[in-house]
Amino acid sequence: MSSSGAKKKQKGGKNSAKKYPLKVEKIGKRFGGLSAVDGVSFSVEEGSITGLIGPNGAGKSTTFDLITGITNPDTGVIKFNGEDITGKKPYQIANIGLVRTFQITRELKDMTVMENVMLAPKNQIGQQLSNVLLSKLRRKVKDQEEELLEKAWETLDTFHLDKLANEYAGNLSGGQRKLLEMARVMMMDPSMILLDEPMAGVNPTLKKQIITLIKKLSKNGYTFLLVEHDMDVVMNHCDPIIVMHNGEVMLEGTPSEISTNERVIDAYLGGS
Amino acid sequence: MKFDIEMLLKSDARIVASTFVGISLLFIIVAMILGLDFNGTVNTIQRIMFLSAVYAMVVLALNLQWGYAGMFNIGVAGFMLSGVYTMAIITGDPNGIIPGLGLPIPIGIIGGVLVASLLGLLISIPTLKLKADYLAIVTIGFAEIIRYAANALTFKTFSIAGVEMGTGAGRGIHLPMNPIRNLYYTDPSNLGLGKTVFGQYVFGFFEIIQVQSSVVVSWTYAIVLIFVVGLFYLIIYRIGNSPFGRVLKAIREDEIVANALGKNTDIYKMKVFAIGCGLMGLAGILWQGSYGYTNPTTFQPILTFYIFIALIIGGSGSNTGSIIGGVVFASLLFEGPNFIRRVIMHVFKFDKAPNSIIEAIIPISSFDLGPFVAYSLANISSLRVVFLGLVLVYIIQNRPEGLLGYRKELAASIDISRRPGAEVKRGKRHE
């Protein structure tokens, strides 16, 4: 792992100095006797679409949970923009710009698409009780709501959900739910987005739309780390790619390095 | 203009008003069948309105906790008891049999609300991490502990820092004189001493239409309560229809998501629990306050379940539905069976009901259903529970979202279903 890190630094040396907003250093997590994640280290480059792949049970989703504070690592350190976020609560991590979507979509089903999207923004003054109870302060809340509503419609346009704005989220198709989750986290003004299998169960047309969106956003400076099983997507659109196996990082490299590596092929085919 | 039922139901105020008017008309008809005089009719409606208002208040408070945030609080009765007893102890006569602190009523009410609220907060802290079912267990356990404590001889009288006070144990505790009386009488504790100027005018007016002064006093109290229901509605409407309310809904749907979207859900849950329990305490005070006396038996767990049934009927998550649920439950389901009994007894002039089920059943063999019907009617308050069960089963199977739960009541301070500036565009698209 350290070797690939060194390689990156060399690569970075040629251009301007590259930034790595997310740095994961030797994190580990055990569940009972099972070691789900064992000494995993990697860094994610700013503006990149980094792929995280590996066979089922490799520890990808657990790594996501550890980074976003859903569970806390037993060992290791996670840094985001230089700040140690190890052991922080999910809401604290989300509020500093590191957000995620879930493998099994977690839409808020009895809320409309618009309510889902309007929930997300940070620093809503209307989330303070005094501001919503006192008549004088409510004016400000309403003003902010109007601003957020405008932004929400734009976001729904971007994610092709504008026609579904008043539909209950529970009535959306699987692919639309993936879009809704992404639209929701984008409303938080994040700087880095972790996507857990954004293409799973999504039809080819919608898949193309999602890829186009991710590429567009990454050009605009957003950083992506995504877990994905669709190898076409990973190999064509992610760079670099991190391969996990048995709770450890097996390899990190460009798509061509990964696709020709025998250990990776073995891991996927079940060899040892 | 064409009469349109859709139009009538459009506004929430109209829904509530038409429910109140409809229920009142129904009970006026009942009173007419029973042959009550005008005073009796007015008194009947007052009872219905009073109980409806009490239920509406508590159901609204529960809707904030359960309907919005999904917090399964089945200790409602306990929080109501906390409010009422605190108020009783604060305002009680220091030289009475059960001594109190002898402070004024407003301080008693504020104290009662604060204690109920603080207890809610205390309960919420250790239970934040618990899933719904476990919160339910803790809250009902709490409610029963509080009720047993109020019932315990140990606390009949006790002293804190040398100040004597007590709960009165099983015999209950006195509550301050209904302050409404101060409006009408110069000395509320001795009504014979005379009336205030206001009292003279109002009583004088109602004497002309033959309504007794006691009915006027209780009606005034009911009107105050209906006003407080409006206040509860306003508070909970503002909390629910706001960004704060959106977070509550998100907690109900999926707390992990709310957390992953940067919301400190623990704080929201604590706030909602404290506010809801405080409002339950206030509702309890206003309910029992009219009786001048309360005891622990009033606050058995079944009270909590009545509140839940009312909320389920009205539509969990809907504030207007909460009021409708409270009114429908209190008038039709709770008081209704008694009136059904009275009407049937009055119309069919039944003989005295038999004393046992055997005596009621035997005549059926000779095709005489009378004694059985009379027996059933005499025990209608027990049958009420069976009736409630049937209503609940029907609702859960056929209308699980309740009377108004089908509506999209969006959690926002503004209308977020519309697209600002898009009305013109939308119109064009249709052409």
d(CA B303, CA B169): 20
d(CA B331, CA B165): 37
CATH number of the domain at A58, please.
3.40.50.300
Asked, for residue B424, whether it belongs to a domain, the answer is no
Q: Is B318 a residue whose pLDDT tops 80?
A: yes
Asked, for residue A242, whether it belongs to a domain, the answer is yes
- In chain A, which residues have their Cβ closer than 8 Å to the Cβ of B417? 112, 114, 165-166
For B266, the closest chain A residue by CA position comes to A91
Say how many C-beta atoms besides its own lie within 10 A of residue B261's C-beta: 26
**Contact A262/B at CB under 8 A:** no
Range of the domain at A251: 2-107+189-269
Using DSSP's 3-state secondary structure scheme, residue B420 falls into coil
Nearest Cα neighbor of A194 from A61, A104, A95, A101 is A101
Say how many C-beta atoms besides its own lie within 10 A of residue A29's C-beta: 22
**Contact B279/A at CB under 8 A:** no
d(CA B48, CA B19): 12
Same-domain check for residues A76 and A165: no
Q: How confident is the model at residue A15 (pLDDT cuts 50, 70, 90)?
A: low
B416 and A118 in contact by Cβ < 8 A?
Answer: yes
Asked, for residue B150, whether it belongs to a domain, the answer is yes
Distance (Å) from the alpha carbon of A100 to chain B's nearest alpha carbon: 7
Asked, for residue B4, whether it belongs to a domain, the answer is no
- In chain B, which residues have their Cβ closer than 8 Å to the Cβ of A171? none
Using DSSP's 3-state secondary structure scheme, residue B300 falls into coil
Q: Say which of B262, B271, B420 has its CB closest to residue A94.
A: B262
Same-domain check for residues A103 and A221: yes
- Among positive and negative, which fits the CA dihedral A63, A65, A66, A72? negative
pLDDT digits (tens, 9 = 90+) for B119-169: 999 999 888 877 768 889 999 999 999 999 999 988 888 888 888 888 988
Same-domain check for residues A133 and A152: yes
d(CA A97, CA A120): 12
B410 and A110 in contact by Cβ < 8 A?
Answer: no
pLDDT digits (tens, 9 = 90+) for A218-230: 999 999 999 998 8
d(CA B363, CA A135): 67
pLDDT digits (tens, 9 = 90+) for B396-416: 899 888 888 777 788 998 888
Range of the domain at B105: 10-416
**Contact A90/B at CB under 8 A:** yes
d(CA B191, CA B199): 11
**Contact A150/B at CB under 8 A:** yes
B243 and A129 in contact by Cβ < 8 A?
Answer: no
pLDDT digits (tens, 9 = 90+) for B168-214: 888 899 998 888 888 888 887 777 788 888 888 898 888 888 888 88
Asked, for residue B3, whether it belongs to a domain, the answer is no
Evaluate whether A101 touches A163 at the Cβ level (below 8 Å).
Answer: no
**Contact A165/B at CB under 8 A:** yes
Same-domain check for residues A9 and A89: yes
- In chain A, which residues have their Cβ closer than 8 Å to the Cβ of B254? 106, 108
Same-domain check for residues A246 and A216: yes
- In chain B, which residues have their Cβ closer than 8 Å to the Cβ of A94? 259-262
Burial class (CB in 10 A: 0-12, 13-18, 19+), A163: exposed
pLDDT computed for residue B362 by the predictor: 81
Share of chain A above pLDDT 90, in %: 66
Same-domain check for residues A14 and A95: yes
**Contact B97/A at CB under 8 A:** no
Same-domain check for residues A160 and A257: no
pLDDT computed for residue B216 by the predictor: 92
Q: Please give the distance of CA B87 from its chain centroid, rounded to a whole number.
A: 18
pLDDT computed for residue A6 by the predictor: 40
Rounded to an integer, the average pLDDT of A41-66 is 92
A141 and B246 in contact by Cβ < 8 A?
Answer: no
Same-domain check for residues A80 and A195: yes
Please state the domain count of chain A. 2
Same-domain check for residues A24 and A101: yes
Distance (Å) from the alpha carbon of A104 to chain B's nearest alpha carbon: 12
Q: Helices then strands (H, E): number in chain B?
A: 19, 4
Same-domain check for residues A37 and A97: yes
pLDDT computed for residue B310 by the predictor: 95
d(CA B168, CA B298): 14
Mean residue pLDDT across chain B: 88
pLDDT computed for residue A147 by the predictor: 94
pLDDT digits (tens, 9 = 90+) for A161-180: 999 999 999 999 888 999 99
Distance (Å) from the alpha carbon of B96 to chain A's nearest alpha carbon: 40
pLDDT computed for residue B195 by the predictor: 86
**Contact A118/B at CB under 8 A:** yes
**Contact A209/B at CB under 8 A:** no
Asked, for residue A176, whether it belongs to a domain, the answer is no
Share of chain A above pLDDT 70, in %: 93
Q: How confident is the model at residue B423 (pLDDT cuts 50, 70, 90)?
A: low
The reported pTM is 0.89
Partner residues linked to A53 by β-bridges: A243
d(CA B236, CA B316): 13
CA separation, residue B296 to residues B78, B81, B148, B219 (Å): 10, 8, 8, 26
- Which of B68, B252, B253 to mutate to probe the A interface, most A CBs <10 Å? B253
Amino acid identity of residue B338, one-letter, is N
pLDDT computed for residue A7 by the predictor: 39
Same-domain check for residues A213 and A122: no
A91 and B260 in contact by Cβ < 8 A?
Answer: yes
pLDDT digits (tens, 9 = 90+) for A54-108: 888 889 999 999 999 999 999 999 999 999 999 899 999 999 999 999 988 888 9
Asked, for residue B1, whether it belongs to a domain, the answer is no
Q: Is B46 a residue whose pLDDT tops 70?
A: yes
pLDDT digits (tens, 9 = 90+) for A229-269: 888 899 999 989 999 998 999 989 998 888 888 888 888 76
A115 and B246 in contact by Cβ < 8 A?
Answer: yes
- Backbone dihedral region for residue A221 (phi beyond 0: left; psi -120 to 50: alpha; all else: beta): left
d(CA B176, CA B62): 27
Same-domain check for residues A154 and A197: no
Asked, for residue A183, whether it belongs to a domain, the answer is no
Provide φ and ψ at B127, rounded to 5°.
-100, 5
Say how many C-beta atoms besides its own lie within 10 A of residue A212's C-beta: 11
Nearest Cα neighbor of B135 from B252, B257, B235 is B252
A48 Cβ contact list (under 8 Å, min separation 6): A218, A223, A224, A239, A240
Mean residue pLDDT across chain A: 88
Asked, for residue B425, whether it belongs to a domain, the answer is no
d(CA B126, CA B128): 6
Asked, for residue B191, whether it belongs to a domain, the answer is yes
pLDDT computed for residue B8 by the predictor: 46
Please state the domain count of chain B. 1
What ipTM was estimated for this complex?
0.87
Q: Is B2 a residue whose pLDDT tops 70?
A: no
Asked, for residue A206, whether it belongs to a domain, the answer is yes
Asked, for residue B126, whether it belongs to a domain, the answer is yes
Please name the residue ranges forming H helices in A84-134: 90-95, 113-119, 129-133
Q: How confident is the model at residue B424 (pLDDT cuts 50, 70, 90)?
A: very low
Distance (Å) from the alpha carbon of B236 to chain A's nearest alpha carbon: 9
Asked, for residue A177, whether it belongs to a domain, the answer is no
